[in-house]
Amino acid sequence: MYKKSNYIIGNFGLPNQGKTYLTTKVLIPQIPRYFIFDVNEEYGDKIKGCIQCKSFDALVDYVQKMKNPVTDYFKIAYSGFSNTEKAYEEDVENLLELLQVFGNLTIIVEESTLFQNSNKIPFQLFNIVERGRHKDISLIIIARRPTNSNRRITGLRTGAFIYKLIDPHSLKFFDELTTEQQEQIPKLPRKKCIVANMELIQQHFTFTAQQKKQYFYAIY
C-alpha cells in the first residue's frame, strides 16, 4: 500500500516561468497516487499513464472500475468544472469530499487561486488542510502570487518552489528567507526557482544533482 507523510508545498511565480514544467517532470514522477485539478488540461496528455477525466460522471465511472480506489496507485487529471460560479463551487466541494474518502494521496491544484484566495477557502479544502494528515492527504498548490492564496494553506506550508516574482508584497511573503535572499526573486531567470525549506521538502522528494543544477537557482 502506498503511504507517505503529509505535506503542503507551494509552487509560485509569474506565468511561463516553469511551475508546471517542474511539477510535471520532477515532482509528479515521485507521486504514485495523485489527483490534479487540471483546469487548462495541461497534464493529461503530458504524463504517461495519467487519465484525463472531463466530467464528474467520467471520474465516477473510472473509480468504479478500479479494483480498490483506496489502495490502488492511480493518476487522474480532472478538468470537468462547471461554467457558473455556484456550480463551480459545488464541483470543488464534491471532488474534495470524494478525495477524502480515498485518502493516502496528493492533490495538485493548478491555478489554485481559482479555487481559493486570500479571503475564501472551500470548506472541504480547509478540512484537508487541517485534518489531511490523518488520512495522509498532501497538497501542492500552484499559483502566480503567494499573497493571493489563503493563509490557512500557506501558513502551514512545508516548503516552496519560488519562481520570478516582482510584486514587493509577494517577496516579503517568504519570511523564511532573509531580505538578501528575497531580493534574488525578481532577478530569477526563466525556468529557475529558489527552493525554500529544502530540508523539509527532501523528506518527501529526492532530487538528483543534475535536477538541482537544471531547475534550482538557489536552495535554502
Bridge partners of residue 34, in order along the sequence: 75, 106
pLDDT of residue 48: 87
1 vs 215, which has greater pLDDT?
Answer: 215
Domain extents in the chain: 8-219
At 117-140, the pLDDT tens digits run 999 999 999 999 999 889 999 999
pLDDT at 3 over 60: no
Give the CATH number of domain 8-219; options: 3.40.225.10, 3.90.930.12, 3.40.50.300, 3.40.50.2300: 3.40.50.300
Looking at residue 216, its pLDDT comes to 98
The predicted pLDDT at position 1 comes to 39
Neighbours of 199 (CB within 10 A): 10
Q: Using a cut of 0.85, tell me whether the model's pTM lies above it.
A: yes
Cα separations (Å) of 18 from 61, 144, 216? 33, 11, 11
pLDDT band at 2 (very low <50, low <70, confident <90, very high): very low
Half-sphere exposure of 167 (CA within 13 A, CB side): 14
Phi-psi region of 197 (alpha: psi -120 to 50; beta: other; left: phi over 0): left
Alpha-carbon gap, residue 211 to 125, rounded angstroms: 31
For the chain, give the percent of residues with pLDDT over 90: 75
C-alpha cell at 140: 501542492
pLDDT 10s digits, 65-110: 888 878 887 899 999 988 877 778 888 999 999 999 888 999 999 9
